[in-house]
Amino acid sequence: MALFIVRHEHKADLCPAADPYRGAALLSHLSQPYARRHGMEIRGKAVVQGEHTLYLIIESADEACVRRFMEPLAAAGSLDIHPASTCAGVVAGGGCAAPGLLTDTETVDPETACEDAVEAGLLVHRVHPLNCETSVPELIGGVVVPNARFYVRNHFPIPLLNPATWRLNVGGLVERPQRFNLDDLHHMPSQTLVVTLECAGNGRSLLHPPVEGEQWRLGAVSTAEWTGVPLVEVLDRAGPAGRARTVVLRGADGGDVPGRTAPLRFERSLSLDEARDSDALLAYAMNGEALPRHHGFPLRVVVPGWYAVASVKWLTEIEVIDTDFAGFFQADRYFYEWPREGRTTREPVALQQVRALITEPVADSDIPTGELTVRGVAWSGASPIARVEVSVGLGTWQPARLVGERRRHSWQWWELLTRVDVPGATTVRARATDLAGRTQPEQPVWNRLGYGINPVQEVAFRVR
């Protein structure tokens, strides 16, 4: 893609914007989405006052493309198209007299990605690769979290995949190896599921003694409505061979990891049964929009109920094998390791633990005496939420009201309208129990890598 500065001037009496309908049509023509459909990105636009002159900064494959796009305006006046560079390109290339630098198109600029996250109110943990959590007090109801506010967990730089050349290969022990482009997937049977994704390390910062790894507070969890093709549909087209046992899902993201000499790709496996029975989706849309780049554009796996490490982003390969799979993100990470009776017990990280998250009151806030609303979300990978109980001060556990319909794979809002009548420092706690009877421990259960930390949450506040 190349950058252009476009200058268009017309006579005042020919101004197409003077007619409100032509004006509106022109606005639509010069909009980002319309330009995008013509293979262009509009990077800036403005009209010089009193001079009938429009400037556009456009990214496009070539000048001819820009010229075609500008035809409706050219008809009303002049059109100058100047090849241009970004400021970063000029600096990187050694100044405006130098020949200029090629843009690296393989990963998302970490600066931009980080800026976007900060602008949306996410709490950034790491800039590169980008890791940030959702701001819990900004959850104000509604099951879905807007895409810009959805927590982000990356292990490697964010790959920038070209949707036109991207392919999903399905191979290994299958009868009919498959190769899908994005259009193929769009034209297969679709499914939409509301699913809560949670990072297995969510709440890790609660552990004492602390453990290594991203120090997540409680916001590494969000819910969205995902649309795509059921994984089982894609597997059925390929036809796993009789001895097939495991489905390996491989993303386009990769790099070096500790203890391995060669760089590797992000990959995870599901057993063939899990792949078939988990309602796993190959999602191309999130809350009704194409997947954002940092959430796996153009295609990601969404495995409902599982910690999100299973939901491989930037999916490019599905390989069916007849053995277990011992990739880095299963063999070296993402397992529970508990010290028990002098021995070490290990178990893979799989379904999300049951947990309630308090969104109101906000920690350290001042609340007037009188009515108090305690509110939050609760979820469990194993089964829907059966009940949430709330304790104010050190009072008894009171049942909260579950809000809205119970959904199989998504968090549920709950709320308790109660009173606080005694001024002073106090706390509120919330405890969820799922239909399988699992509930939350009072204290975090320490494990070496810090996964599945789901103690009863306590929020301190003051009554005035």
Beta carbons of 330 and 297 less than 8 angstroms apart:
no
Q: Using CB under 8 A, which of 216, 329, 379, 413 touches a second copy?
A: 413
Which one, 76 or 354, has the nearer CB to a second copy? 76
The CA distance from 133 to 431, in Å, is 22
User: Rule CB under 8 A: is residue 120 a binding residue for a second copy?
Assistant: yes
With CB under 8 A as the contact rule, which of the stretches 63-71, 85-93, 260-268, 302-310 interacts with a second copy?
A: 85-93
User: Rule CB under 8 A: is residue 404 a binding residue for a second copy?
Assistant: yes
User: Rule CB under 8 A: is residue 241 a binding residue for a second copy?
Assistant: no
Q: Using CB under 8 A, which of 146, 171, 213, 384 touches a second copy?
A: 146
CA distances from 303 to 169, 192, 269 (A): 19, 13, 11
CA distances from 437 to 203, 332, 336, 354, 382 (A): 22, 31, 21, 10, 10
Q: Which residues between 26 and 45 bind a second copy (CB under 8 A)?
A: 26-28, 30-34, 43-45
Please spell the DSSP secondary structure of 139-192, one letter per residue: --S-SS--GGGS-B--SS--B---TTT--EEEEESBSS-EEE-HHHHHTS--EE
Q: Using CB under 8 A, which of 1, 64, 403, 425 touches a second copy?
A: 403
With CB under 8 A as the contact rule, which of the stretches 88-96, 167-175, 267-275, 337-345 interacts with a second copy?
A: 88-96
What 3-state class would DSSP assign to 445? coil
User: Rule CB under 8 A: is residue 273 a binding residue for a second copy?
Assistant: no
With CB under 8 A as the contact rule, which of the stretches 336-344, 399-407, 419-427, 445-453 interacts with a second copy?
A: 399-407
- Least separation in angstroms between residue 424's CB and a second copy is 21
Instruction: Name the residue type at position 425.
Output: A
User: Rule CB under 8 A: is residue 52 a binding residue for a second copy?
Assistant: yes
With CB under 8 A as the contact rule, which of the stretches 11-19, 151-159, 272-280, 344-352 interacts with a second copy?
A: 11-19
- Here's the x/- map for a second copy, 298-337, by CB under 8 A: it reads as ----------------------------------------
| First-residue to last-residue Cα distance in the chain | 60
CA distances from 454 to 155, 203, 443 (A): 23, 7, 8
Place of tokens 């005496």: 369
- Least separation in angstroms between residue 441's CB and a second copy is 29
Q: String of b and e for 150-187 (b: at least 16 CB within 10 Å)?
A: bbbbbbbbbbebeeeebebebebbbeeebebebeebee
The CA distance from 186 to 120, in Å, is 29
Q: Which residues between 176 and 205 bind a second copy (CB under 8 A)?
A: 186-193
The CA distance from 30 to 26, in Å, is 6
Q: Which residues between 361 and 380 bind a second copy (CB under 8 A)?
A: 371-373, 375
User: Rule CB under 8 A: is residue 425 a binding residue for a second copy?
Assistant: no
User: Rule CB under 8 A: is residue 91 a binding residue for a second copy?
Assistant: yes
Q: Using CB under 8 A, which of 196, 287, 311, 352 touches a second copy?
A: 287
Report how many residues bind a second copy under the rule CB under 8 A: 105
Which one, 72 or 441, has the nearer CB to a second copy? 72
| 413 strand-pairing partners | 377, 403
The CA distance from 415 to 426, in Å, is 18
With CB under 8 A as the contact rule, which of the stretches 121-129, 206-214, 349-357, 424-432 interacts with a second copy?
A: 121-129
Please spell the DSSP secondary structure of 309-324, one letter per residue: GGS-SSEEEEEEESS-
Which one, 267 or 415, has the nearer CB to a second copy? 415
User: Rule CB under 8 A: is residue 125 a binding residue for a second copy?
Assistant: yes
Q: Using CB under 8 A, which of 38, 68, 72, 142 touches a second copy?
A: 142
Measured in whole angstroms, the distance separating CA 105 from the mean position of its chain's CA atoms is 21
Place of tokens 């996250």: 117
Q: Using CB under 8 A, which of 63, 109, 214, 225 touches a second copy?
A: 225
